[in-house]
Amino acid sequence: MASLTVPASEFKARCLRLLEEVAAGDKTLVITKRGRPVARVLPFQPSPRPLRGSWKNSVRIRGDIVHFSVADEWEANQ
């Protein structure tokens, strides 16, 4: 990932354009004040959705899912 170093005064003047560059590519932006790094701007990466609760409101449970019997659904061979 390429890094672009910019003084704070230049960042202040070109803030929106620099943020667009960061969002468009694999660039990071290091903002300096008096030659010392004070902040780093990275492209946003959304966190993955957690699995817990991901099926909420999309699955309907009918009956007892722990204690069940399939004996009624099978025909006995005699």
Domains in the chain: boundaries: 2-41
Q: State both tokens at 71.
A: 């004996």
CATH superfamily placement of domain 2-41 = YefM-like domain (3.40.1620.10)
pLDDT digits (tens, 9 = 90+) for 10-50: 999 999 999 999 999 878 999 999 999 999 999 988 888 88
pTM of the model: 0.58
Residue 68 has pLDDT above 80, yes or no: no
Q: What angle do CA 36, 39, 45 make, to 5 degrees?
A: 150
The pLDDT of residue 67 is 80
Q: Which residue has the tokens 């025909």?
A: 75
